[in-house]
């Protein structure tokens, strides 16, 4: 019964709501009879909403019923609204005159909602019925003609013309049927005594009461009335009023006084005593909510009231006397329940929140929200609010329906999900509120490039490593998610010694690990760079680069190489001559070795491993100079043999040996001394003249060109190159086995510059200058320091100083004259002077003859 009243109230509320909505918005409305079969067509919703059949599936059209149960569905193939479940108007709307089911049609992409109404028309599918099929009455035989006896009302769930219309009574001689109108508009059947009763003639009467509705065809219900005629006690209790009406607030507590009823009986004594009770057909809802005092007639509250369940109670009261037979009087009490604000508003999510892209514009619809309150009046008026600071807002659409919209920029990297807290507050006093959190997921957009952990990396790698070993692992991270955060690594193409860097290393695209393609040789490659790119999988993809500097560390993998005596380098003995007149400390020869390694691995030391006479010769630990320990005596063998061991300072130690054969001779001549001195004088004079002539030529050219150009040497661009010699002019010391040579480099590749090198081989009797192609460059200061380190040191004796002078003159030509004399000139400048290679060759031949003289000269 409470459920029926609840739906009756709901139907009445929605009826008035949608009547107002139809007036305002002119929304779609359908009308169908109740009890339609499942699958019956209500109307073509696609056509009425101006939607194509394809849009029904693509935009996921669906129907939501605010009644809770899905009575309707959409045929996606035809676009028709069809019946999904049994429609019982009486169960849905009770006795409401109008039965309208509001539906909300939801469409996605973009998210929209439409209101439609379906009116359920009543059909005469219910017959009138009485609560009990039989009714027993006891009437005193002294009852006066015209006395009325109220009978039970019949009930018909149908409404309108199909509802209960009238009553009829079976034909008899004593009673007739009259209908009594009540305040609530319902007619109550009453039995009227038309003829005095005579118990002795007829102690019992059987009547049939029939209730008829207004349907077509007419339906009816019956109740059998049995009347027992009692003797004497001819007065019945009479209430002051036939109907009473009171009001109670729904928060009234148990025991609250409702009303006190009083009935009087004209009889005296025992027949005039009255006791009160609820009617025999009182519903359980009434008897469980109220109770009556049998003696005083006071009605008090027994249970809790709920306006939202039942707004009014009709209580039938019976007053009986104690006479024989019992006489009774009747009245009705109507208890109206007053609403209080005891229900908090409810927030209903009409559609599941859609994920929102972080670049979604303001005003994007996220979800549809509805608010409702079971209270009435101001207590049922609801307003919604969002917490401040949220990038979302609420936009009212109609009635208590809202759209949840974006109102500001979204950043998934800061907030990947929002729990939007919505507060609903009613207008009651005091106001009640409720909260609901709606989770909204922010989907990622590829707006962040990968970021390496470092802007650049330094990797130190030992040479002679195993090919395929890992060099280093770079790592990058991406603030995005999913595919936008998946990173692949690659190596950008670049050149290392004119070879693609991919020939040296490769990278694992998944984890950024860099592997070597082959073993590295420090003596060939000391440092190179790798440009690594990290790219995400977004669309469009984003990337960033970093530089990996790879430094090759030297290992002691080269044994010292003997470059002098030159014959030793060829694998045979080195033969030296020494006068027997040599004193202690006499310089016999100098062993020179080089190590291709660097640092400690290239530090070389010399020692005598074996000797014919260990007391006669010694070798300098660091310079390799072989000198006499003492004066040569006549008893010493004329042929001496020394095995000199040369070690580096690496780990493990690498070594080499050279065998020096020394021949002690008497009476060496100095006939070549004058010729050597002449060679030296001529060489120095030639160099001086050559330098003077070169400067004079350059000065004359500068003077001639100074009138049309500010350049002092060549074109303005060339002059700029000379002002910054390190920009285009480079010296590079190179080795090729035992050969050491210096390259003078200059110009850029586009100008087709020329460079020259000086080759000095310990194995060759002569040295010369050779024209070579441009090559890679080395820092100028580094080359000079290397050259200086390669020159003979100050430990030479006076005799060797002349040779040192020749070497230094030669090196000075290479270091300082070559950039000027050779000019590293372009094709339109002066060609290299042809005399300089000749001068250098002359110096070298003079050096060789001087060495031979020193070896054979007797002091």
Q: What is the DSSP string of 756-795?
A: EEEEE-TT-S--EEEEE-------HHHHHHHHHHHS--TT
Determine if residue 817 is left, alpha or beta; phi over 0 gives left, psi from -120 to 50 gives alpha, anything else beta: alpha
CA distances to 31, 621, 726, 755, 780 from 747, rounded to whole Å, are: 96, 43, 10, 9, 14
Convert the pLDDT of each residue in 230-274 to its tens digit.
867 778 899 999 999 999 999 999 999 999 999 998 887 888 899
Question: Residue 504 has which token pair?
Answer: 């040296």
Tell me: domain 134-230, CATH 2.60.40.60, correct? yes
Q: What's the rounded Cα separation, in Å, for the pair 845 and 494?
A: 46
Q: What is the mean pLDDT of residues 434-459?
A: 91
**Has residue 4 got a pLDDT over 50?**
no
What pLDDT was estimated at residue 458? 95
Query: The domain 238-338: what is its CATH number?
Result: 2.60.40.60
Convert the pLDDT of each residue in 128-157 to its tens digit.
988 888 999 888 888 889 989 888 888 888
Residue 443, classified by CB atoms within 10 Å of its CB into exposed (0-12), middle (13-18) or buried (19+), is middle
Architecture of domain 27-121: Sandwich (2.60)
What pLDDT was estimated at residue 701? 85
Q: How confident is the model at residue 449 (pLDDT cuts 50, 70, 90)?
A: very high
CB 507 within 8 A of CB 550: no
What pLDDT was estimated at residue 668? 52
**Has residue 732 got a pLDDT over 70?**
no
Least Cα distance to 790 among 805, 803, 808, 775 occurs for: 808
Of 5-9, 416-420, 426-430, 432-436, least confident by mean pLDDT is: 5-9
Least Cα distance to 561 among 417, 739, 339, 779 occurs for: 739
Question: Residue 368 has which token pair?
Answer: 């549809």
Question: Residue 555 has which token pair?
Answer: 């290992």
What pLDDT was estimated at residue 286? 93
Query: For residue 340, what is the DSSP state?
Result: -
CB 119 within 8 A of CB 211: no
Question: Residue 189 has which token pair?
Answer: 């059947």
Query: For residue 65, what is the DSSP state?
Result: E
**Has residue 656 got a pLDDT over 80?**
yes
What pLDDT was estimated at residue 798? 31
Q: Give the contacts of 116 (CB within 8 A, at least 6 positions apart).
A: 27, 28, 29, 30, 45, 48, 81, 102, 103, 105
Least Cα distance to 577 among 660, 494, 518, 644 occurs for: 660
What pLDDT was estimated at residue 19? 40
What pLDDT was estimated at residue 47? 85
Exposure of 830 in the CB half-sphere (CA atoms within 13 A): 17
Of 227-236, 351-360, 803-812, least confident by mean pLDDT is: 803-812
Least Cα distance to 235 among 137, 142, 316 occurs for: 142
**Has residue 229 got a pLDDT over 50?**
yes
- Whether 27-121 and 561-665 share one fold: the answer is yes
CB 730 within 8 A of CB 745: yes
**Has residue 77 got a pLDDT over 50?**
yes
What pLDDT was estimated at residue 533? 95
Q: Give φ, ψ of 11 to 5 degrees.
A: -65, -40
The tokens 């050096």 sit on which residue? Answer: 847
CB 415 within 8 A of CB 442: yes
Greater pLDDT, 15 or 378: 378
Query: For residue 502, what is the DSSP state?
Result: G
Q: What is the mean pLDDT of residues 445-452?
A: 91
Q: What's the rounded Cα separation, in Å, for the pair 35 and 123?
A: 8
Q: How confident is the model at residue 667 (pLDDT cuts 50, 70, 90)?
A: low
Specify the fold of 346-443: Immunoglobulin-like (2.60.40)
Q: What's the rounded Cα separation, in Å, for the pair 400 and 20?
A: 14
Q: What's the rounded Cα separation, in Å, for the pair 43 and 683?
A: 119
CB neighbour burial string for 717-742, b if at least 16 within 10 angstroms, e if fewer: ebbebbeeeeebbbbbbbeeebebbb
Q: What's the rounded Cα separation, in Å, for the pair 402 and 430?
A: 24
CB 373 within 8 A of CB 380: yes
Convert the pLDDT of each residue in 273-320 to its tens digit.
999 999 988 999 999 999 999 999 999 999 999 988 888 999 999 999
What pLDDT was estimated at residue 813? 35
Greater pLDDT, 808 or 593: 593
| Kind of pairing between the strands at 312-321 and 274-278 | antiparallel
Give the H or E element holding residue 321.
Answer: strand 312-321
Q: What is the value of pTM for the model shown?
A: 0.45
**Has residue 725 got a pLDDT over 60?**
no
What pLDDT was estimated at residue 127? 87
What pLDDT was estimated at residue 398? 78
Least Cα distance to 729 among 768, 781, 769 occurs for: 781
Spacing of C-alpha 617 from chain mean position: 80
Domain positions in the chain? 27-121, 134-230, 238-338, 346-443, 451-553, 561-665
CB 124 within 8 A of CB 36: no
Which CATH number does the domain 561-665 belong to among 3.30.750.80, 3.40.50.300, 2.60.40.60, 3.40.630.10? 2.60.40.60
Greater pLDDT, 804 or 493: 493
Name the class of domain 451-553: mainly beta
Residue 678: beta bridge partners?
Answer: none
Give the H or E element holding residue 31.
Answer: strand 28-33
**Has residue 780 got a pLDDT over 50?**
no
CB 679 within 8 A of CB 840: no
CB 404 within 8 A of CB 397: no
Residue 184 CB coordination number (10 Å)? 10
Q: What's the rounded Cα separation, in Å, for the pair 493 and 511?
A: 19
DSSP-assigned letters across all residues of 701-757: HHHHHTTT-S-SSSSHHHHHHHHSHHHHEEEEEEEETTEEEEEEEES-GGGT--EEE
Q: What's the rounded Cα separation, in Å, for the pair 232 and 205?
A: 18
- The answer to whether the Cα torsion of 786, 790, 794, 800 is positive or negative is negative
What pLDDT was estimated at residue 349? 86
């Amino acid at each position: 019964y409470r459920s029926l009243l609840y739906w009756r109230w709901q139907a009445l509320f929605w009826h008035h709501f949608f009547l107002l909505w139809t007036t305002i918005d002119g929304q779609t409305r359908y009308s169908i009879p109740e009890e339609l079969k499942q699958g019956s067509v209500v109307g073509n919703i696609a056509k009425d909403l101006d939607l194509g059949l394809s849009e029904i599936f693509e935009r996921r059209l669906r129907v939501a019923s605010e009644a809770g149960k899905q009575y309707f569905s959409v045929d996606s193939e035809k676009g028709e609204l069809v019946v999904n479940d049994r429609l019982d108007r009486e169960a849905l709307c009770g006795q409401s005159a109008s039965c309208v089911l509001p539906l909300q049609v939801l469409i996605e992409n973009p998210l929209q909602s439409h209101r439609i109404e379906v009116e359920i028309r009543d059909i005469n599918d219910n017959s009138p019925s009485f609560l009990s099929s039989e009714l027993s009455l006891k009437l005193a035989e002294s009852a006066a003609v015209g006395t009325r006896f109220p009978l039970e009302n019949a009930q018909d769930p149908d409404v309108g013309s199909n509802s209960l219309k009238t009553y009829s009574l079976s034909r008899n001689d004593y009673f007739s049927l009259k209908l009594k109108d009540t305040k609530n508009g319902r007619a109550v059947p009453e039995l009227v005594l038309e003829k005095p009763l005579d118990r002795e003639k007829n102690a019992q009467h059987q009547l049939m009461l029939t209730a008829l509705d207004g349907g077509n065809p007419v339906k009816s219900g019956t109740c059998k009335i049995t009347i027992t005629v009692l003797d004497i006690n001819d007065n019945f209790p009479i209430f002051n009023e036939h109907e009473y009406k009171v009001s109670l607030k729904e928060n009234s507590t148990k025991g609250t006084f409702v009303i006190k009823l009083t009935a009087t009986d004209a009889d005296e004594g025992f027949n005039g005593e009255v006791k009160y009770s609820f009617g025999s057909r009182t519903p359980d809802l009434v008897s469980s909510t109220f109770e009556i005092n049998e003696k005083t007639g006071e009605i008090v509250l027994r249970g809790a009231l709920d306006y939202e369940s039942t707004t009014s109670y009709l209580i039938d009261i019976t007053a009986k006397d104690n006479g024989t037979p019992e006489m009774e009087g009747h009245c009705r009490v109507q208890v109206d329940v007053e609403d209080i604000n005891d229900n908090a508003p409810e927030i209903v999510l009409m559609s599941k929140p859609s994920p929102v892209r972080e670049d979604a514009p303001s005003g994007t619809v996220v979800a549809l929200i509805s608010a409702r309150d079971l209270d009435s009046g101001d207590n049922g008026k609801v307003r919604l609010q969002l917490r401040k600071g949220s990038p979302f807002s609420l936009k009212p659409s109609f009635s208590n329906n809202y759209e949840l919209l974006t109102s500001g920029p979204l950043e998934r990297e800061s907030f990947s999900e929002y729990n939007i807290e919505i507060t609903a507050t009613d207008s009651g006093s005091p106001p009640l509120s409720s909260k609901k959190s709606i989770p909204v997921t922010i989907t990622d957009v590829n707006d962040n490039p990968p970021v390496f952990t470092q802007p650049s990396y330094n990797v130190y790698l030992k040479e002679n490593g195993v090919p395929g070993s890992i060099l280093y692992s770079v790592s990058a991270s991406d603030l995005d998610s999913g595919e936008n955060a998946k990173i692949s690594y690659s190596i950008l193409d670049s050149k290392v010694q004119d070879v693609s860097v991919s020939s040296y290393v490769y990278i694992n695209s998944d984890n950024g690990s860099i592997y070597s393609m082959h073993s590295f040789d420090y003596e060939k490659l000391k440092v190179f760079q790798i440009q690594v790119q990290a790219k995400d999988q977004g669309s469009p993809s984003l990337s960033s680069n970093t530089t990996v500097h790879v430094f090759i560390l030297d290992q002691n993998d080269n044994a010292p190489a003997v470059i002098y005596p030159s014959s030793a380098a060829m694998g045979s003995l080195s033969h030296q001559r020494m006068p027997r007149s040599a004193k202690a400390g006499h310089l016999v020869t100098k062993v020179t070795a080089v190590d291709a390694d660097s640092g400690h691995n290239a530090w070389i030391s010399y020692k005598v491993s074996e000797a014919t006479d260990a007391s006669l010769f010694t070798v300098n630990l660091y310079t390799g100079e072989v000198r006499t320990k003492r004066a040569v005596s006549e008893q010493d063998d004329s042929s001496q043999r020394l095995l000199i061991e040369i070690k580096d300072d690496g780990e493990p130690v690498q070594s080499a040996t050279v065998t020096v054969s020394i021949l002690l001779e008497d009476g060496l001549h100095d006939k070549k001394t004058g010729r050597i001195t002449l060679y030296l004088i001529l060489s120095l004079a030639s160099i001086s003249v050559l330098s003077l002539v070169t400067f004079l030529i350059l000065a004359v050219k500068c003077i001639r060109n100074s009138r049309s150009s500010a350049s002092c040497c060549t074109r303005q661009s060339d002059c700029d190159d000379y002002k910054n010699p390190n920009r285009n002019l480079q010296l590079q010391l190179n080795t090729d086995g035992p050969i050491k040579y210096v390259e003078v480099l200059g110009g850029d590749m586009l100008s087709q510059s020329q460079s020259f090198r000086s080759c000095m081989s310990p194995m060759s009797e002569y040295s010369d200058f050779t024209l070579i192609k441009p090559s890679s460059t080395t820092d100028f200061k580094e080359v000079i320091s290397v050259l200086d380190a390669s020159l003979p040191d100050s430990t030479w004796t006076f005799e060797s100083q002349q040779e040192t002078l020749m070497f230094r003159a030669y090196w000075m030509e290479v270091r300082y004259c070559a950039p000027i004399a050779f000019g590293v000139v372009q094709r339109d400048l002066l060609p290299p002077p042809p005399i300089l290679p000749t001068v250098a060759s002359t110096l070298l031949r003079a050096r060789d003859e001087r060495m031979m003289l020193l070896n054979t000269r007797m002091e």
